A and B are shown apart, each in its own frame.
Chain A
Amino acid sequence: MSHQQRRTNPELPDSVREALDALRPVPPVAPSTWEEGRQAFLAQARAMRPAEAERAVAPGGPLGALRELFGFSRRGASPLALALKAVFVLALLFAGSVGTVGAARASLPGSVLYPLKVRLEAWDLSQAHTPEDVARQALEHAQVRVDEAQRLAGRGDDVPYEVAQRYQEGLALALEASGSLDEPLRLKTRDAISETLRHQLRTMVQLSARVEGDAQSEDDTSVRAMIRTMEWTQAQIGQGGNGQPAGPVQQGPAGEPAGPAGACEGESCEDAPNGPAAPNGPGEPGDGQNPATGPGPGEGEPQDGGNGPGPGKPPGEDGEGPHQNGPDRGDDEDRGKGGTQGEAGGDDNAGRSTGRIGDAAPGAADAPLQGPDAETPARDMTPVVAGGTAEPEGEANPAAEPPVAAGQPADQAGGTLGDGHSVGAFPVPPAQGDGD
């Protein structure tokens, strides 16, 4: 008897112990015999397998293996097992959604997921219920645009015009939202915007230096457009710091828009060297919906073109007009002074609250109708742009000599963002002073 047997049954009688010891040895079975027995057993199992089991058992292939792995069979499903499976499936879906959202958030223009990113940002804004939240969110989105421009330029891709457009929209919205805050909070928010702008401006100037050299490229134009937006917005915030609504968004009463026209603040726009950024729109006075100026500006303005966007005086007349030579410069005269971007919005801007750069181009709509140079007008409309600054005073019809055509870089000419994308409604009024 084994030692263990004795230990577990010390009281086992000797006769019984000896008898059991005699029974203990079992002759070994050859492995081949076991194998034959197993195969016979499995053959019986296959032969006896019920039809139902045929269906229940996972067939070959990945799907069957997956079903078997997670026990997705109809037999033996307990409520707990079903609940666990449901949780697992939901977790998979959730993980997939989170992954997709994350990928979309990191996407760049041109990516399949970029439209989703835009929608997600719109959803973000819809979740902001206070002006402060809206301003913060919009500013974050503007920062995202800067990041996008950096990443695109960093990998050698063009920065699409869409980025500059969306950047301007975000900034305009941030300013607009901050304008509706109470004084202390408004100043605080504007300080934050200004601080952000400083950083962004530094970033974009560096970026511009990198992409410089191809003034005709969309890349360069978009970057410069963003820089101008930053500069102009900073200037507006500086003025708004005195309690005056600054941003392109906050416009004065009808007819006295801020926006690019802000450059005229404190002085008659008529006298302003740089007319309103508003280029020579097609003649349609602002409808108050110029993207650049946001919903505010120009509201209630007559639509008769009385107060055209154009500079106080037609550029062609006194040479002070901004650069913008709309195809119909002459109309600007009729629009009177105080032309603002809002006013200059033109038809294209109708119904938009946060104008888009390209769309806002006043001249864009008319361009095709204005003469031979169909493209140029649109470009020249860019109000913003250098607001005539870049153009020598007294230059006559810019329409005839679009900045670009004249050999000036579009950005310098302040007329366009290139490629027919007018910056017309750009809030960013042209840089001031050059022409003066």
Chain B
Amino acid sequence: MKQGERLLRLAQRWDEAALCEIYDTYAPAIHRYIYRKTGDADTAQDLTAETFQRFLEALKRGAGPTEHLSGWLYRVAHNLIVDHYRRQPEIPDAPVEGIELAVPATQDGHLVREDRASRARDALQQLTPLQQQVVVLRFLEEMSLDEVARVLSRTVGSIKALQHRAIATMQRILEDSCEPPTATDEP
């Protein structure tokens, strides 16, 4: 965190070396975050670039993060992902559903993994934005509760609560999607 704050101060003075270091430090994590939520490498690359462009624009306006640079970047990335899906509301579901139906169960492992990832992403997208961030940061980026709390500017207690609700919701969505409604035993 201290390194992030130091870089942020230098970046506010438009220090090119600091800006470069910020990109090298945070771009891979933001790229992973976006990819895991979109499942598309090109989209991840584009949205990562746009996230950092927003960062520069904020700096120029004298706005932007005052602390917790990574948290600010994750929030911007998340908003961009939401905007991305808003701009293309029809594309994600229909084709995926179509592909899913067209692929026989005997396809190779790669397709199976893609199918699982797609369903997981669908489940993730149905969470609230904050729950999505908690799940990704906590279980995919493998941050601790403290780190997630700092990034999201929340208390550890609220992160625990968000995490609990997110897991429960995902579990329900995933299990619902795997079994026909008639076979569900859940109350």
| Interface residue ranges, A against B (CB under 8 Å) | 2, 4-5, 8-9, 12-13, 15-16, 18-20, 22-27, 29, 33-34, 37-38, 40-42, 44-46, 48-50, 53, 56-57, 73, 75-76
Contact = CB atoms under 8 A, between A and B. Distances in A.
Contacts of B130: none
Interface residues of B, number: 44
- Most B CB contacts (10 A, CB to CB) among A5, A8, A9, A20 go to A20
DSSP majority for the A interface? helix
B23 A38 contact: yes
Contacts of A41: 19-20, 23, 27, 49, 52-53, 56
B135 interface: yes
Interface string B13-36: 111100110011001100110011
DSSP majority for the B interface? helix
A48 B116 contact: no
A23 B124 contact: yes
Interface of B: 9, 12-16, 19-20, 23-24, 27-28, 31-32, 35-36, 41, 45, 48-49, 52-53, 56-57, 60, 113, 116-117, 119-121, 123-124, 135, 138-140, 142, 167, 170-171, 174-175, 178
Contacts of B14: 45, 49-50, 53, 56-57
A26 B19 contact: no
Given A22-B120, A44-B53, A15 B60 contact: no
B60 A50 contact: yes
Given A5-B139, A27-B41, A76-B13, A19 B23 contact: no
Nearest to B36: A23
Nearest to A56: B13
Contacts of A33: 45
A29 B44 CA distance: 10
Nearest to A50: B60
B121 A23 contact: yes
A155 B161 CA distance: 85
A23 B12 contact: no
B116 A19 contact: yes
Nearest to A4: B142
A19 B49 contact: no
A48 B62 CA distance: 12
22 contacts: A4-B142, A18-B120, A20-B135, A22-B113, A22-B117, A26-B32, A29-B28, A34-B28, A38-B27, A40-B49, A41-B19, A41-B20, A44-B53, A44-B56, A45-B14, A45-B56, A46-B16, A48-B56, A57-B13, A57-B16, A75-B12, A76-B13
B27 to A, nearest CB: 6
Contact of A19 (B24, B27, B31, B170): B170
- Most B CB contacts (10 A, CB to CB) among A4, A19, A27, A34 go to A19
A13 B139 CA distance: 13
What are the 10 closest A-B residue pairs judged by CB atoms, nearest first? A19-B120, A53-B14, A22-B116, A22-B117, A15-B174, A13-B171, A23-B36, A22-B120, A26-B32, A16-B170
Given A37-B23, A45-B16, A16 B174 contact: yes
Contacts of A4: 142
Contact of A23 (B20, B23, B117, B167): B117
A16 B123 CA distance: 9
Contacts of B23: 37-38, 41-42
A181 B26 CA distance: 80
- Most B CB contacts (10 A, CB to CB) among A33, A41, A48 go to A41
Given A12-B167, A20-B139, A48 B60 contact: yes
Nearest to A9: B139
A42 B15 CA distance: 11
Nearest to B116: A22
A42 B18 CA distance: 11
B130 to A, nearest CB: 17
- Most B CB contacts (10 A, CB to CB) among A2, A22, A44 go to A22
B48 A37 contact: yes
A73 B14 CA distance: 12
Nearest to A17: B139
Nearest to A27: B41
Given A5-B142, A27-B41, A37-B45, A53 B117 contact: no
B16 to A, nearest CB: 7
Contacts of B41: 27, 29
Nearest to B113: A22
Contact of B45 (A19, A24, A29): A29
A292 to B, nearest CB: 69
Contacts of A5: 139, 142
Contacts of A29: 28, 31, 41, 45
